[in-house]
Amino acid sequence: MEKFAICGYTRISVDLFEDRDNTSIENQKAIIEEFVKNKFPNSKLDLYVDRDRSGYTFEQREEYQKMRSLMLSHQYDILIVKDFSRFSRRNSRGLCELEDLRDAGMRIISIVDNIDFPNDDDWLKIQFQFLINEMPVTDTSKKIKAVINRRQKDGKWICNVPFGYEMVNYKQMTFKVDEPNALTVKKIFELYCNGWGYKKIAEYLTEQRFPTPSMVKKERYESEGEKSKYEANPIWNTASVRTILSNDFYTGVLRQRKYTRTKINGKEVKLDDENNIVFEEHHEAIIDKQTFSNVKTLMSKRSTNHYHGVGKYSTKYTGLLVCGDCGSPMFSRSTPRMAPSYICGNYHKHGKKYCTSHHTRVDMMDSIVKTYLAKVRCEIVKNVNVIGSALESENQNSPQKRKSAIDLLNEKIEKAQKELQITKRQRIRDIIRNPENEELLEETYNSLENELCGKIEGYKAQLLMCNDKTDNIKSLKSNSDYIIETFDTILQKDELTELDLKNVVDKIYVYENHIEIKLDADIESLLINDYQVTKKGIEIERITEDYFKEEIILKITHQAQKQLDVFLALNKPLADDVVKTEKIYSRNAINNGDPLEIYTDAEGEVIFKKYSPIGELSSFASQYAEVLHKNGGLPIAIMDNDHVIAASGISKREVLERRVTKSLEELMENRQIHIKTDTVPSMNAIEGYDRKAEVVYPIMYGGDVSGAIALLEDENHTMPTESDIKLVQVAAAFLGKQME
């Protein structure tokens, strides 16, 4: 009888459910040995074993990889497994690997499946077997993922905690503050706020013999009677220090869903902060939010300024002051005989040929910044009152409405999903009945399925907005309260520090005739006002949407003006410190307004209009409106957020450039649709125009509403048909795609 070199492969998974029928390696070995003894009595058998290894990948199986290299080098003739689930539980990779082994001259036998490949080349049977083997893996993966997602949304998925905390019960996912190590965390934050860098802090902790995170983990494992997999390194490294300083878990914040996997056993991908599920004040904090914010600000500033030394004289505005005229950083000038001040860097290096001095004294700048912050604080307080009213209104009036909206959206999602399933089944039936029209049917059904998928995603987005509305208002109010607290702390100080400035100021631009102060982005987002600091006092200029038509000036009290005049009189410049009398210290910015573009009207006058993404497609929109009118037979109007930009089936001269009505603006803002029914009347969509809109769908671009498309009434005022509604819906989606 012919002799063969045979290798037998056995595997047990970490997943007990997946391997409920393969409870022991010994069982698999016995089956393979018995089979070889009966079928190949004179052949040599080598067994390879992988324990606690998933069948979904090949790369993580050390013994299989060792056996594979020998098979591909023709040192074995036959591979025997108990069944193909031991070989692979991934359909595509398993079949590909099987073909690679066949091409290398290997014969593969699956005992339980009764397959001898390629001698018994029933490829369909093999494919079916691999498909069945993969199903438990994908099914289990989906179930586990659903459980994790549910617990993350409830804030109950805590597998581990950072240094400074310790797990109390892994099963119940409870933890507490580890007091001795919490002191180490506090020390790290304190040292960093005092100007120390990562390396210096790490060296200090090592010298003082503070236990490292790996030492703490190993000690906990050993105290529980388990063998530790961690190396206890007594030396602190900069990465550990940086990780601790950047982790907001220490402030009582729990972040869920920080990582995700795109596939089973795939690599973890870090998600952006906005995609995390965040729970404020979830647990006991070690670090207060003010300290964490200070550290976060310093970390971002130090990443752009690489000098970490300590100067002889204070240079707290270094990195913040920029020459507005030439863009050069301002240069600090400090000597015992001269008041601390800054001049333009280009002027300092190259002289008057390149720029003027832009001389600015530090004490003057301190006064301007503090006075400016005081006025900004007043405006934020006003906004907080508005936010508080909105939150109170939301809590009193909205729960029942929100619940009703959520129930309705869930019903719509379920209905659309059922419709999608029916469409998929109908596709298969139609292709089987009409194979000669397969290409046309595929194209048609792809369009229908994409439309339904888009509808489902839209409903889910609306559902998410319903759930997040109150949370967003709470977050905004919390952020506002925190900023006000920060401002109060700064304003109570006699002298501003570098940390104070970097907490609230992003850049200060010094021009020849004025100064612009740009605040941190989080603070800017809470403001709608423009502030100016002049020698006569401080003005607040509110920039409205119609900025170029109207200016509303709010003056501060005479007392504040007088205080600033007194300051200027007491702080006269030195001989070489020339201050021009017309110099204005100001900040000019338009917040929470729409971007404006410059146009000319028919008479050649300059006018300003809001930027409109769909306006860029006005020519295409006009052609598209013509096509829609010819197909549907009803008048069509296409609008951006403000005006009608295209129309067909009606007099264009009457409607083009007409403003949309308030009701249509509200509909677009709320991302709603309008469909005329027996109980819902037509809506006025165009100001000063008689024909009303029967069907309106918003045009979505980049997650925002960029306009709308409306089907207007015909002369007979007939009800819109299902095909009319579908036509407008598809047209709105199509225009949104064209803008991407």
The reply to whether the predicted model has a pTM over 0.85 is: no
Amino acid at 176: K
| Distance separating alpha carbons of residues 624 and 618, to the nearest angstrom | 10
- Do 177 and 183 form a contact (C-beta atoms < 8 A)? no
Give the residue with greater pLDDT, 583 vs 518.
518
- What local confidence, expressed as pLDDT, does residue 661 receive? 93
What does the pLDDT look like over 521-551, one tens digit per residue? Answer: 666 555 543 333 333 333 333 323 332 222 2
Give domain limits for the chain. Answer: 5-151, 165-302, 314-518, 609-738
Amino acid at 345: G
Using pLDDT thresholds of 50, 70 and 90, give the confidence band for residue 401. Answer: low
Using pLDDT thresholds of 50, 70 and 90, give the confidence band for residue 266. Answer: low
Amino acid at 44: K
User: What kind of fold does domain 165-302 have according to CATH?
Assistant: Hect, E3 ligase catalytic domain fold (3.90.1750)
The architecture in CATH of the region 609-738 reads 2-Layer Sandwich (3.30)
- Rounded to 10 degrees, the C-alpha dihedral 439/441/447/450 comes to -100
Mean pLDDT of 512-522: 78
What does the pLDDT look like over 656-712, one tens digit per residue? Answer: 889 999 999 999 888 899 999 888 899 999 998 888 999 999 988 777 788 999 999
Q: Is the pLDDT of residue 267 over 90?
A: no
| Distance separating alpha carbons of residues 460 and 240, to the nearest angstrom | 39
Distances from the Cα of 340 to the Cα of 297, 327, 359, 574, angstroms: 24, 21, 11, 11
Give the residue with greater pLDDT, 110 vs 388.
110
Q: Is the pLDDT of residue 249 over 80?
A: yes
- What local confidence, expressed as pLDDT, does residue 22 receive? 46
Beta strands at 330-335 and 254-256: parallel, antiparallel or unpaired: unpaired
Mean pLDDT of the chain: 75
Mean pLDDT of 473-499: 71
| Distance separating alpha carbons of residues 192 and 202, to the nearest angstrom | 11
Written out in words, the top-level CATH class of the domain with range 5-151 is alpha beta
| Distance separating alpha carbons of residues 33 and 47, to the nearest angstrom | 9
Closest listed residue to residue 411, CA positions, set 419, 423, 421, 401: 419
Lowest-pLDDT choice from 30-44, 458-472, 632-646: 458-472
- What local confidence, expressed as pLDDT, does residue 410 receive? 80
Closest listed residue to residue 86, CA positions, set 169, 33, 21: 21
Beta strands at 78-81 and 259-261: parallel, antiparallel or unpaired: unpaired
Amino acid at 8: G
- What local confidence, expressed as pLDDT, does residue 466 receive? 60
Mean pLDDT of 179-197: 88
Q: Tokens at residue 661, please? A: 């009505």
| Distance separating alpha carbons of residues 507 and 516, to the nearest angstrom | 8
Quote the Cα angle for 419-423-429, to 5°: 145
How many CB atoms are located within 10 Å of the residue 154 CB? 11
Closest listed residue to residue 162, CA positions, set 286, 234, 250: 250
- Do 693 and 674 form a contact (C-beta atoms < 8 A)? yes
What percent of the chain clears pLDDT 70, i.e. is strictly above it?
A: 72
Amino acid at 649: G
CB burial readout 188-220, b (16+ within 10 A) else e: bbebbeeebebeebbebbeeeebbbbbebbbee
End-to-end CA, the chain: 70
- Do 39 and 46 form a contact (C-beta atoms < 8 A)? no
Give the residue with greater pLDDT, 245 vs 613.
245
Mean pLDDT of 132-160: 69
What does the pLDDT look like over 370-397, one tens digit per residue? Answer: 888 888 878 777 766 665 565 555 555 5
What percent of the chain clears pLDDT 90, i.e. is strictly above it?
A: 12
Q: Is the pLDDT of residue 70 over 90?
A: yes
Alpha carbons within 13 A on the beta-carbon side of 692 = 15
Using pLDDT thresholds of 50, 70 and 90, give the confidence band for residue 555. Answer: very low
Chain centroid to Cα 609, Å, comes to 31
| Distance separating alpha carbons of residues 463 and 450, to the nearest angstrom | 20
Give strand pairing partners of 596: 610
- What local confidence, expressed as pLDDT, does residue 570 receive? 40
- What local confidence, expressed as pLDDT, does residue 369 receive? 85
What does the pLDDT look like over 28-66, one tens digit per residue? Answer: 899 999 999 988 988 989 999 998 888 878 888 899 999
Q: Is the pLDDT of residue 595 over 70?
A: no
How many CB atoms are located within 10 Å of the residue 720 CB? 22
- Do 38 and 79 form a contact (C-beta atoms < 8 A)? no
Using pLDDT thresholds of 50, 70 and 90, give the confidence band for residue 78. Answer: very high
- Do 636 and 713 form a contact (C-beta atoms < 8 A)? no
- Do 705 and 641 form a contact (C-beta atoms < 8 A)? yes
Phi-psi region of 118 (alpha: psi -120 to 50; beta: other; left: phi over 0): alpha
- What local confidence, expressed as pLDDT, does residue 49 receive? 92
